[in-house]
Amino acid sequence: MPRAFTRLAFSTAVKAAQARYGAREHGAKLERAEPSRERLNDELIAYIAQVDSFFIGTANSEGWPHVQHRGGPAGFLKVLDDHTLSFADYAGNKQYITIGNLTENDRIVLFLIDYERGRRLKVWGHGVVIDNDAALLDRVKDSNYPAKVERAIRVDVIAWDLNCRQHFPKLVRASKHPNSMA
């Protein structure tokens, strides 16, 4: 069985590009690699628990992509189990593009970057906007953050990949600003 993320990302066109640029053998090797990476392992769960920033990608029914940043205190992206993530959604710019996209196309990707250790985690899944689940809303809120949780976004994970450290800027965090959430 192919590695989960390659089933999603290695389309016919991607495989053709790999062949054209001499990387198809490498792509085929990735497809056969174990484990399948459909469920989060303990190391990733610990890593996600420390995340204070990530990018979320969605697309509308016409296929137009949208990328949005999400940030909060470390641990604001909650691991509910080894195949489910969730986070609180607070008031923002009132455009609701991510929310609207998820109502017509539930495919989602999260892109987590650890600049200090040179790590990138991509998580593919199906996203669900949840407005009326008091237990989940309570579970994803941060009691030290004064904003009201408007809804939660749940990600049902179907694949993940840690990848390439080449061309990766190594950044060291400045001391925390007193007004920052991070």
| Band of residue 172 on the pLDDT scale cut at 50, 70, 90 | confident
The pLDDT value recorded for residue 46 is: 93
Residue 24's SS3 state is helix
Which domains does the chain possess? 1-36 (no CATH), 37-163 (2.30.110.10)
What is the CA angle 17-122-96, rounded to 5? 105
pTM for the full predicted model:
0.88
Q: What is the pLDDT of residues 60-78, one digit of tens each?
A: 999 999 999 998 888 999 9
Q: What is the pLDDT of residues 2-59, one digit of tens each?
A: 789 999 999 999 999 999 999 999 999 999 988 888 899 999 999 999 999 999 999 9
| Band of residue 182 on the pLDDT scale cut at 50, 70, 90 | very low
Q: From the CB of residue 163, how many other CB atoms can be counted at a distance below 10 Å?
A: 11
Smallest Cα–Cα separation from 48: which of 162, 153, 168? 162
Q: What is the pLDDT of residues 82-118, one digit of tens each?
A: 999 999 998 777 889 999 999 999 999 999 988 887 8
